[in-house]
Amino acid sequence: MANHQTERRKRERYTSDTLTLKTENQKLLKSTNDFTSFCDLENTQSLLRSDSLLSKTYRYFYGQGSLLSHRLRKWRHP
């Protein structure tokens, strides 16, 4: 009887953890989509010129000589 209860507890914990992970992933995805749509606006140039944290992040990932462009260059010309 006790074994059956521990199994059920394990299963319940696993399901709740999985649900938590799913909601966290959805939040992260939504914020990423918001960030990309924000960066796709006309103010991309001013964003790159400004010195805010968002612009630094944008430059780091998408700007010229950024992480992404280096990866792409390596991938195209190994």
Say whether pLDDT at 42 is over 60.
no
Where do the structural domains in the chain lie, given as residue ranges? 1-40, 43-78
Determine the straight-line distance between the first and last CA of the chain, rounded to whole angstroms.
61
How far is 77 from 73, CA to CA, in rounded Å?
6
Say whether pLDDT at 8 is over 70.
yes
Q: Residue range 55-62: average pLDDT? A: 70
Local confidence band at 53 (pLDDT 50, 70, 90 cut-offs): confident
pLDDT of residue 14: 74
* pTM summary value: 0.31
User: Which residues, other chains included, contact 15 with Cβ-Cβ below 8 Å and sequence gap of 6+?
Assistant: none
Say whether pLDDT at 5 is over 70.
yes
How far is 45 from 39, CA to CA, in rounded Å?
9
Cβ–Cβ < 8 Å for 66, 59: yes
